[in-house]
Amino acid sequence: MPLFDLPLDQLRNYASGVTAPADLDAFWDRTISEAREYPLDAVFEPVDNYLTVVDTFDVTFAGFGGSPVKGWLHLPANRPADQPLPVVVQYVGYSGGRGLSNQDTKWAQAGYAHFIMDTRGQGYGGILGHTADPHPSAGDVAHAGLMTRGIGSREDYYYRRVYVDAFRAVEAAQAHPAVDSSRVVVAGVSQGGGITVAVAGLAAGRLEGVIAALPDVPFLQDFPRSIDIAPRGPYPEIAAFLARHRERYGPILAVLNYFDGVNLGRAATAPALFSAAQMDDICPPSTVFASFNAYGTAAGSESGTAGQTGSGDVPAKDIEVYRFNNHEGGQEHQWNRQLEYLRKLLG
């Protein structure tokens, strides 16, 4: 895949044309408030993961509408009993689920608590999932996949439910006594990266303890441009739907505006380490930079949007760019970068 998007010097200054709805905060205040009317009821059942260095718990908690959401909590087996650990709450990529109990324990191996959220209605794309999506809109007319599920209204759109699940996953992780609730890091790749940006934004003023975000090649950013230029992956599901429902382009963009990471991430106050891949034809680099450049800007002046240390009240943020990679991004190189980043952040 060639370098098909903007050159790097333009990416660093690219600003999305997406603008937040006037009632964006009110919509999410109401959504989170309604979700919290259901008891979290986080349950942690120990399971045998066949490993000697990691302890694993099968987690169930109440997500959107009170419906059960699954997850794994991995803990270092040799952890001090009297010292709660920082936790990395991880969100997974499109079509994936939480996997098996020992499939991904890398953050626990690094010495952190590691919470992996299952994604409702997914787990069919190679990584097993265990969480249903019982919402009535799951049966609406839509293109194959999840991108247009319930897209007729902001109340019914699929990612409203997922973002609420992800928000409550942080609360569920914080509920375990081995977790330091004041030191939560949210992280993910692709769809998981997009959910990470959303949770970082939604947490601001609504949830204490989120101290960093690690979104890799994030999906769900700058929807109008992504729909226009992404030739591969989930975004074309929306384009295919609009090819048959031509009159719905404007209304659909109006709904997506409430879920666009460019809009949600502006409110974030936690420091962030992003990554982008310049040959990425699933999450084009301009859409990732749209998110990165907007991230945290509602917290302070625009002058800090491209720096590593922030300006005024803008949270510190940085982005790693992998020029010759497609959607796989930095992989093990980015993992090492994240380990270094958290070591510095957490001391």
Q: Which residues are catalytic?
A: 190, 280, 327
Q: State the burial class of residue 132 (Cβ atoms within 10 Å of its Cβ: 0-12, 13-18, 19+).
A: middle
Q: Where are the beta strands (DSSP E) in 134-209?
A: 179-189
Q: Where are the beta strands (DSSP E) in the chain?
A: 43-47, 54-62, 68-76, 85-91, 113-117, 179-189, 210-216, 272-277, 317-322
Distance CA 195, CA 166 (A): 7
Strand order in the sheet with 54-62: 43-47, 54-62, 68-76, 113-117, 85-91, 179-189, 210-216, 272-277, 317-322
Count of beta carbons in the 10 Å neighbourhood of residue 302: 13
Which pair of structure tokens corresponds to residue 136? Answer: 């009535």
Distance CA 220, CA 191 (A): 7
Residue pair 47/58 in contact (Cβ under 8 Å)? The answer is yes
Q: How many residues does this entry show for the chain?
A: 347
Q: Which residues contact 99 (CB under 8 A, 6 or more apart)?
A: 72, 92, 116, 127, 128
